[in-house]
């Protein structure tokens, strides 16, 4: 009797996830069924002011990657989405509460801050609210935590925050506010804080039922210039000692935390704002600057990649793209200069890598429309959701309405076969 009951429950869970995940079962104009156990969801959230991704692992473990808020002014930014009645951090919190409603925990299991730029961490302004009794300002990550409890925070700098140099000036003020937030969360909410460790697979591991999904893992690939070798958990440092190069030569973007998520045959890459700096000279001089190259070599081919540095002109080199050769590219955009036309054309070109590919832009400002002028039938802007079926053999992509909280599906793509 127990065996029969267990089989019925297993079939129910499988059916609840598998059939709603079919691209032909979800129509434009409808809503995306909620996550169910066995599915992998990757939500690229469009707030118009920064970058944020929300991942629900097959067992329901949740991970928020970045929660950025830039204070740049229009016309240089898209502007707050859905609207300006709330700050992006609160919109992100509301989004993950809806998307994660069916998960085992109300708390966010992991928060990963890939690097310390405002569009990934959140930059307080003079008008930002100040918490009581914490005393820190609310912006991005710090504001998300006001609405959703966080169990563990992982970043590239804990606990010293001194690589490649101590944070000073305006960025330092942002990091100082973040550190004040961490101190209060540790003391009052028992939040755990760790430094991102390259090479390992146990730092962002499933928390609720890991033994049920042995074919799922998140491999930490790189951080602060330290890159996994592809062997065991061994790593190599690709950056010189900061004392041996010009001040500022080691840039914040290239210190970004990068990871590869794998679920069966499905692979996904996310690397913050990794970049090359100068695509024309990086191959002949100062090759250590091109951190994309060693990261590409240990990442290998993937099904889906989040574009590095919003597909700006200094990122997603021909070599990087030719190694990853994704079927789907997601480009988070909050600035009118994103993506670079040359970078976008490189992503389109079958000279860069062969085969079909679909490019999804979260926002489409005028510059993006120029970059995509040959793609009149391309996907619309919005939140971009990757839903992978149980086991990882197949996935679909859904573009969700970003101008309100209706959850309306704007377009459906796939299903794609994982490679």
pTM: 0.93
Contacting residues for 327 by C-beta, under 8 A, at least 6 apart: 303, 304, 355, 356, 357, 358, 416, 419
- Max CA pair span of the chain: 71
What per-residue confidence (pLDDT) applies to 1? Answer: 41
* HSE, side-chain direction, 13 A CA sphere, residue 22: 8
CA atoms of 151 and 218, how far apart (whole Å):
18
What per-residue confidence (pLDDT) applies to 366? Answer: 79
Q: What is the spatial order of strands in the sheet that 394-400 belongs to?
A: 192-195, 150-155, 108-113, 62-65, 51-56, 40-46, 383-388, 394-400, 409-417
Contact 141, 121 (CB under 8 A): yes
Range of the domain at 335: 2-417
What per-residue confidence (pLDDT) applies to 367? Answer: 73
Number of domains in the chain: 1
What per-residue confidence (pLDDT) applies to 393? Answer: 98
Query: Which stretches of the chain drop beneath a pLDDT of 50?
Result: 1-16, 18-21, 282-284
What per-residue confidence (pLDDT) applies to 17? Answer: 52
What per-residue confidence (pLDDT) applies to 377? Answer: 72
What per-residue confidence (pLDDT) applies to 75? Answer: 83
What DSSP assignment string belongs to 179-204?
HHHHHHHHHHH--EEEE--TT-SSSS
Contact 261, 306 (CB under 8 A): no
What per-residue confidence (pLDDT) applies to 167? Answer: 75
3-state secondary structure of 39: coil
What per-residue confidence (pLDDT) applies to 6? Answer: 37
pLDDT in tens, 134-186: 999 999 999 999 999 999 999 999 999 999 998 776 678 999 999 999 999 99
What CATH number corresponds to the domain at position 387? 3.60.15.10
């Amino acid at each position: 009797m127990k065996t029969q009951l267990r089989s019925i429950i297993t079939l129910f869970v499988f059916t609840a996830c598998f059939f709603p995940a079919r691209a032909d079962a979800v129509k434009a104009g409808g809503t995306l069924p909620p996550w169910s156990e066995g599915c992998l969801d990757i939500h690229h959230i469009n707030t118009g002011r920064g970058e944020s991704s929300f991942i629900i692992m097959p067992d329901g473990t949740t991970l928020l990657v970045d929660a950025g808020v830039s204070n740049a002014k229009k016309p240089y930014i898209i502007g707050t989405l859905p609207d300006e009645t709330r700050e992006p951090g609160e919109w992100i919190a509301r989004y993950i509460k809806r998307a994660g409603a069916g998960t085992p925990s109300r708390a966010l299991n992991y928060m990963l801050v890939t690097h310390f730029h405002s569009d990934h961490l959140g930059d307080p302004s003079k008008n930002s609210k100040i918490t009581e009794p914490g005393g820190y300002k609310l912006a991005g990550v710090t504001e998300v935590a006001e609405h959703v409890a966080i169990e563990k925070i992982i970043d590239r700098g804990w606990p010293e925050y001194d690589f490649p140099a101590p944070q000073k000036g305006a960025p330092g003020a942002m990091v100082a506010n973040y550190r004040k937030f961490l101190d209060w969360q540790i003391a009052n909410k028992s939040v755990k804080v760790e430094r991102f460790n390259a090479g390992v697979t146990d730092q962002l591991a499933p928390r609720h039922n890991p033994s049920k999904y042995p074919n799922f893992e998140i491999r930490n690939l790189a951080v602060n210039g330290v890159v996994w070798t592809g062997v065991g958990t061994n790593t190599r440092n690709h950056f010189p000692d900061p004392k041996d190069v010009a001040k500022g030569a080691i840039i914040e973007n290239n210190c970004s935390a990068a990871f590869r998520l794998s679920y069966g045959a499905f692979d996904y890459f996310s690397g913050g704002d990794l970049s090359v700096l100068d695509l024309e000279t990086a191959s002949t001089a100062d090759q250590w600057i091109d951190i994309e190259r060693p990261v590409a070599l240990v990442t290998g081919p993937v099904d889906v990649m989040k574009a590095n540095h919003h597909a700006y002109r200094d990122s997603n080199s021909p070599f990087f793209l030719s190694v990853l050769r994704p079927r789907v590219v997601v480009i988070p955009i909050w600035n009118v200069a994103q993506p670079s036309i040359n970078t976008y054309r490189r992503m389109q070109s079958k000279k860069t890598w062969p085969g079909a590919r679909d490019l999804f832009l979260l926002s489409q400002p005028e510059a993006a429309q120029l970059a995509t002028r040959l793609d009149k039938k391309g996907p619309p802007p919005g939140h971009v959701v990757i839903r992978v079926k149980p086991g990882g053999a197949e996935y679909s992509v859904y573009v969700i309405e970003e101008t309100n909280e209706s959850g309306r599906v704007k377009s459906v793509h796939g299903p794609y076969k994982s490679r």
